[in-house]
Amino acid sequence: MNLTLHVWRQAGPNDKGRFEKYEARDISEHASFLEMLDILNEELVEKGQEPIAFEHDCREGICGSCGMVINGVPHSKQKAITSCQLHMRSFKDGDEIWIEPFRATAFPVLKDLVVDRSAFDRIIQKGGYVSVRTGNAVDANATPIPKTDADAAFDAATCIGCGACVAACPNASAMLFTSAKVSHLGLLPQGQPERYKRVEAMVAQMDQEGFGSCTNHGACQNACPKSISIEYIARMNRDLMKAKLLGSKDD
Amino acid sequence: MRGVLALYQSTIGKKVVMAVTGLMLVGFILGHMAGNLKIYQGAEKYDAYAAGLRELGKPLLGHYQAIWLARLGLLAAVGLHIWSALSLTSASRKARGTGYKKFDDVSMSYASRTMRWGGVILLAFIVYHLLHLTVGTVHREFEYGAVYQNVVLAFQRWPVSVVYIVANLALAMHLYHGIWSMTQTLSLTNNTILRVRRPLAAGIALVVLAGNISIPLSVMLGVISL
Ligand code: HEM
Ligand code: FES
């Protein structure tokens, strides 16, 4: 199939950037979206032009590198996939596709579609570590965990930190990401030490990075490749209120 | 108190303040609507109800004292609600920075997308409404204490009725997303609430809408007259 692409091109962090129009020719419907960009890039290199920079690694939806906004939706309109899991068969011949980087002040564009998501790393770092001597690895079932808690913690832990939630949110809020990270520890017995200290520190860092404020649209959970629910946001709100208002401590 | 201030520092804290003040306002809106429905009992009962509000709390409190306490509470709630909304909105604008060329917002509800402008419409309406039926400066035939007559004469002019109906449509939208949003912000999310919060928000919004707009409609249709 043949496609018309409008791709955001930006030489570096200080470049103003602009959309460039490209024609992608003879793309197989079996190609993935990133492969389509690879094919286009080869052509650009042959013509002596700069290839389109985009981030990718695993190409199977588990690393969270490949973030881009495809026709106005992070990771495309398809539910519960990352950009690398998108196949060209979801487009048809002659389609026009707009490809933009994730937009947030806290995610500055480095080049073309590549943004700097270290803000997420700093939020995680603020979560710190649980300061207990762990000794040897314990038996997997030594601490009984109710099945519902284990499942809920696991669902939160499926967050791959891709940033689609921020990109989809009209407020560029990082509440879904932060709440998933807060909850996957907070729901487990092993995460109880420093639970409240953690939520306070992570939320403070989230605010400091300049993410916006949630208005409960739910755009984040729709864009999330792992379909993480905004119920975790409510959970994080509760933990923060307990920490600040009731002075809940855990050390 | 230190805890409240510490919480208010965070964006989540400002949302909590919006949710709590929003809840107070929802309580007021429901009470206000229920009271106004007394207009269907006729001029005498309605005017007596209005007069009674000014004497609330007797003999502990004097003439107009309770009502002024309530007004101060409402003013504080509206003020904090708007102050937080402004501060969060400006932070969110900055957080997006360069916008998208193409942005697909179909995954969001119309009500959630119009909270900010809807709020501005409500504020404008509240100012007009107070000048109209409380103070009377923008009401041509306003007569202090003749509440029934003031309402009926006002709504006999169709443009006034239209303003009230439009404002109440905006209010219903604001309540629909706001009440749902409040359960999320205040983390009122046990399994029962998760199940009922959508219909509950829609129900309250519809009840308020129906109760309030029934009054201008009744006047225009001649069901209520002098
Ligand atoms: C008059 C000016 C007003 C403005 C500018 C305003 C603005 C806003 C905004 C921007 C939100 C945030 C939406 C969200 O986070 O989901 C909100 C929420 C809310 N509003 Fe208003 N509003 C106003 C009046 C009112 C009134 C009159 C009521 C009640 C009758 C009300 C009830 C609520 C409630 C319950 C919420 C939910 C709070 C939350 O949990 O986030 N608002 N308002
Ligand atoms: S490249 Fe790893 S998730 Fe897409």
Q: What is the pLDDT of residue A141?
A: 84
Neighbours of A96 (CB within 10 A): 12
Say if residue A103's pLDDT is above 70.
yes
Say if residue B23's pLDDT is above 80.
yes
Question: What residues in chain B have their Cβ under 8 A from chain A's Cβ atoms?
Answer: 3-4, 6-7, 10-16, 88, 91-105, 107-109, 112-113, 115, 177, 180-181, 183-189, 194
Per-chain mean pLDDT for chain A: 95
Decide if A103 and B7 are in contact by the 8 Å CB cutoff: no
Residue A37's pLDDT band (cuts 50, 70, 90): very high
Q: Give tens-digit pLDDT for A51-91.
A: 999 999 999 999 999 999 999 999 999 999 999 999 999 99
**For residue A76, what is the domain's CATH number?**
3.10.20.30
Q: Does A150 touch chain B (CB under 8 A)?
A: no
Q: How far A56 CA lies from chain B's nearest CA (Å)? A: 22
Decide if B92 and A98 are in contact by the 8 Å CB cutoff: no
- Measure the CA angle with vertex B28, ends B24 and B32; round to 5°: 175
| Whether A71 and A173 share a structural domain | no
Q: How far A234 CA lies from chain B's nearest CA (Å)? A: 5
Please compute the mean of the pLDDT values over residues B159-175 and round it to a whole number: 98
Structural domain including A45 reads 3-111
Q: pLDDT > 90: what percent of chain A?
A: 89
- Tell me which residue of A126, A103, A129 sits closest to A116, measured CA to CA: A103
Q: How many structural domains are present in chain A? A: 2
Residues of chain B with Cβ-Cβ distance to A210 below 8 Å are 91, 94-95
CA of B25 to the centre of ligand 1 (A): 9
Residues of chain B with Cβ-Cβ distance to A218 below 8 Å are 107-108, 112
Atom of ligand 1 nearest to the CA of B88: 10
Ligand closest to the CA atom of residue B170? 1
Q: How far A135 CA lies from chain B's nearest CA (Å)? A: 37
Say if residue A93's pLDDT is above 80.
yes
CA of A165 to the centre of ligand 2 (A): 15
Ligand closest to the CA atom of residue B188? 1
Mutant choice from A16, A103, A112, A216 vs B, greatest count of B C-beta within 10 A = A216
Q: In Å, how far are A7, A36, A44, A92, B120 from A95, measured between CA atoms?
A: 14, 13, 20, 6, 40
Q: How far A53 CA lies from chain B's nearest CA (Å)? A: 18
Q: What is the pLDDT of residue A136?
A: 86
| Whether A27 and A92 share a structural domain | yes
CA of A153 to the centre of ligand 2 (A): 22
Which of A111, A134, A157 delimits the end of a domain?
A111
ipTM of the complex: 0.93
| Whether A190 and A101 share a structural domain | no
A251 assigned to some structural domain: no
* Nearest protein Cα to ligand 1, atom 7: B119
Q: What is the pLDDT of residue B198?
A: 95
Please compute the mean of the pLDDT values over residues B110-118 and round it to a whole number: 95
Residues of chain A with Cβ-Cβ distance to B198 below 8 Å are none
Say if residue A149's pLDDT is above 70.
yes
Say if residue B206's pLDDT is above 90.
yes
A12 assigned to some structural domain: yes
The response to whether residue A213 sits with its C-beta less than 6 Å from ligand 1 reads no
Q: In Å, how far are A211, A215, A223, B29, B45 from B92, measured between CA atoms?
A: 7, 10, 19, 29, 49
| Whether A45 and A157 share a structural domain | no
Q: What is the pLDDT of residue B144?
A: 95
Residue B25's pLDDT band (cuts 50, 70, 90): very high
Please compute the mean of the pLDDT values over residues A87-107 and round it to a whole number: 97
Say if residue A232's pLDDT is above 90.
yes
- Strand blocks (E) in A52-205: 69-70, 73-74, 96-100, 109-111, 114-115
Q: Give tens-digit pLDDT for B142-151.
A: 999 999 999 9
| Whether A234 and A132 share a structural domain | yes
| Whether A184 and A141 share a structural domain | yes
| Whether A122 and A232 share a structural domain | yes
A167 assigned to some structural domain: yes
CA of A80 to the centre of ligand 2 (A): 13
Residues of chain B with Cβ-Cβ distance to A182 below 8 Å are none
Which of A111, A142, A171 delimits the end of a domain?
A111
| Whether A35 and A56 share a structural domain | yes
The response to whether residue B14 sits with its C-beta less than 6 Å from ligand 1 reads no
| Whether A194 and A102 share a structural domain | no
**Rounded Cα–Cα distance for residues B112 and B173 (Å):** 8
CA of A117 to the centre of ligand 2 (A): 14
Please compute the mean of the pLDDT values over residues B195-216 and round it to a whole number: 97
Q: What is the pLDDT of residue A251?
A: 55
Q: One-letter amino acid identity for B5?
A: L
DSSP 3-state assignment of B203?
helix
| Whether A47 and A140 share a structural domain | no
- How distant is the alpha carbon of residue A206 from its chain centre? 14
Q: Which of residues 180-219 of A touch B (CB under 8 A)?
A: 203-204, 206-207, 210-219
A129 assigned to some structural domain: yes
Q: pLDDT > 70: what percent of chain B?
A: 100
Q: What is the pLDDT of residue A46?
A: 97
Q: Which of residues 96-135 of A touch B (CB under 8 A)?
A: 98, 100, 103-106
Please compute the mean of the pLDDT values over residues B174-194 and round it to a whole number: 95
| Whether A50 and A124 share a structural domain | no
- Tell me which residue of B52, B11, B117 sits closest to A240, measured CA to CA: B11
Report whether A241 contacts B187 (CB < 8 A). yes
* Nearest protein Cα to ligand 1, atom 40: B182
Say if residue A162's pLDDT is above 90.
yes
* Nearest protein Cα to ligand 1, atom 6: B119
Least confident of A42-56, A184-198, B77-91, B197-211: A184-198
Per-chain mean pLDDT for chain B: 95
In this complex, the residue of B14, B95, B108 whose CB is nearest that of residue A218 is B108
Q: Which residue has the tokens 């404020």?
A: A213
* Phi, psi of B16, deg, nearest 5: -60, -40
**For residue A198, what is the domain's CATH number?**
1.10.1060.10
Please compute the mean of the pLDDT values over residues B198-221 and round it to a whole number: 98
Please compute the mean of the pLDDT values over residues B31-38 and round it to a whole number: 97
Please compute the mean of the pLDDT values over residues A179-204 and round it to a whole number: 94
Which of A77, A111, A145 delimits the end of a domain?
A111
| Whether A16 and A107 share a structural domain | yes
Q: What is the pLDDT of residue A142?
A: 87
Residue B134's pLDDT band (cuts 50, 70, 90): very high
- pTM, rounded to two decimals: 0.91
Q: Does A223 touch chain B (CB under 8 A)?
A: yes
